Structure 1
Amino acid sequence: MSQIAASAVIHPMAVVEDGAVIGENVRIGPFCRVGPRVTLKDGVELLSNAVVTGLTEIGAGSKIHPMAVIGGVSQSLHEAGEESRLVVGANCTMREGVTMNCGTVGGGGITRVGDNCLFLANSHVAHDCILGNEIILSNNVMLAGHVRVEEKAILSGGCAVHQFTRIGRQAFIGGLSAVAYDVIPYGMLNGNPGILGGLNVVGMSRSGIERSVIHQVRRAFKQIFESEGSARANAAAIRDEYLDCAPVIEILDFIAAESDRALSSPHRGKN
């Protein structure tokens, strides 16, 4: 049996299936469809012609625009109908035609999106992706399965991200880029194949990172990617030099972490 708050406003031409949980002040427009295992937290708005299905939770204050399909079954070739979920955080906006898929058992069973994220028209979040807070996916961005995107990253229009790739915090991905390898926190990647062109200095400055710290990060970047040897070996060698610089340590930890993908670099696209 559905649990529908008394303050919810549901258009008579919308379909809310039995079992859905609808919070306070939710608004569901005409021709929307809400599945029987969906939870819409307080203040969620579905404008019109939006579909929310699967075992899906939409966080408070989020807004879903027309023709979006949220919580669909994964497109994995190994999909066999097992139980899986999609959890979207608070105050997210999903514009026209956005698609987000539930997870797969083999990938952990959940696709998760943080708070305050913006998904522009026709962007896609595939199965088992994990996204942090305040991420922007511009028009037609495509995330393959198992991608991890850390908070405040910006992915420009039309870029495509290979499965299992990691994109670090506050990274910036240029339009139409092909992201085949991990992108370090604060990195700026462009092209096809994607090349790590430097640091997202503008984003770092806007987020309040002091200029002196940015200079340290730029120096560390050069030591990692312009010195002889591999980026991972170079990163390990300079750690003691930057113990008091949190952004550099974040980059070094990212490089040292286990990953299924190689590391994007300024030279060959990977390292």
Structure 2
Amino acid sequence: MASIHPSAIIEDGAQLGEGCSVGPFSYVGANVVLGDRVELKSHVVVTGDTKIGDDTVIFQFSVIGEIPQDLKFKGENSRLEIGKRNRIREHVTMNCGTDGGGGVTRIGDDGLFMAGCHIAHDSQLGDRVIVVNSCAIAGHCILEDDVIIGGLSGVHQWVRIGRGAIIGGMTKVVSDVIPYGLVQAENGRLDGLNLIGLKRRGVPRSEISALRSGFKALEKGEGTFLERARRLGEETESEYVKEIVDFILGDSDRSFLTPGH
């Protein structure tokens, strides 16, 4: 039931779902599983222990599932799992995981990965993530649902970016970003909230007002940033604000981008 161009190479053991399309000069490795209606354009390489969900399209010259770019990698078994309905554009690279990071790189559903971006080993990406042209997401990063990374940006290893945050173009991100945060400038400054994204998703005006008040409470007040976050969590009734507080108080190896700095 799959459409395979005569010049494509499909290794023995590969599993192709119904309605798959494999274009000219593409390669599918022996441990690859393609869901239904997955489309590989020409010159696509899918290798390693890689699973790709239904209705995903991968464009020319992408390399998906290769070994990690990590000197500690010694050939151990590791995986790459990609969800459904993703659009992976030209020259994108996505690597499998490592033992040190849990052994698996995960991509959620409905993502858009634009030309030339890189998703490194052991990173965990949620649903509806957009990574714009020529971005680099380093190893062990967490990008929650609805995150947008602007073009030519770089995200440092182990960084967490909370749900609904947006990173401006040409930005270096070396610290965790709170949910719904707006980060921009060359060295990554937390300049406010992703208000446009919140409005587009239909978040009620009352919740947006609560988020703006919560952001101000985190920016100014007595005590450290963590102390202000704990106090905010005790005072607020907004589920959106509580999500930010839980993110701040969660486990992380990185510092935070904080309001006003």
Gaps of 5+ in 2: none
**1:262 lines up with 2:258 in the alignment:** no
Q: Deviations over 1:11-68 (max 9, x none)?
A: 0000001110011000000000000100001000001000000000010000000000
- Give the residue type in structure 2 aligned to 1:267: G
**Aligned AA for 1:8?**
A
1:115-136 CA distances to partner (integer Å, 9 max, x unpaired)? 0000000010000000000000
Find out whether 1:59 has 2:53 as its counterpart.
yes
The TM-score, its normalising length taken from structure 1, stands at: 0.95
Secondary structure in 1 matching 2:151: coil
Offset of residue 172 of structure 1? 0.4
- Take 2:28 and 2:243, find their aligned partners in 1: how far apart are those partners? 40
Task: Determine if the alignment matches structure 1 residue 20 to structure 2 residue 10.
Answer: no
Structure 1 counterpart of 2:156, from 128, 149, 162: 162
**Aligned counterparts of 1:255 and 1:8: Cα–Cα separation in 2:** 47
The runs of 4+ residues in structure 1 deviating greater than 3 Å are none
Counterpart residue number, 2:176: 182
Counterpart for residue 223 of structure 2:
229
The separation in 2 between residues aligned to 1:192 and 1:232, in whole angstroms, is 25
1:266 offset after TM fit, Å? 3.0
For residues 200 and 227 of structure 1, what CA distance do their matches in structure 2 show? 22
Q: Is the 8 A contact 2:32 2:48 kept in 1?
A: yes
* 2:126 paired with 1:132: yes
AA partner of residue 241 (structure 1): E
Taking the aligned partners of 1:15 and 1:122, their CA distance within structure 2 comes to 24
Displacement after TM superposition at 1:145 (Å) = 0.2
For residue 239 of structure 1, report the CA deviation from its aligned partner: 1.4
Does structure 1 residue 31 correspond to structure 2 residue 25? yes
Instruction: Kindly report which structure 2 residues correspond to 1:37-52, keeping only aligned pairs within 5 A, or say none.
Output: 37-52=31-46
Report whether the alignment pairs 1:93 with 2:79.
Answer: no
SS in 2 for 1:221: helix
| Matching of residues 183-198 of structure 1 within 5 Å | 183-198=177-192
Partner residue in 1 for 2:210: 216
Tell me the C-alpha RMSD between the 2 structures: 0.7
In structure 1, distance between residues paired with 2:202 and 2:135: 27
Give CA deviations for 1:209-239 in whole Å, capped at 9, x if unaligned.
1111101110011101222322111010121
**Local SS of the residue matching 1:87:** strand
Aligned residues: 261
Q: Distance in 1 between matches of 2:174 and 2:260?
A: 14
- Give 3-state SS (helix, strand or coil) of 1:100's partner: strand
> Aligned partners of 2:89 and 2:23: how far apart in 1?
15
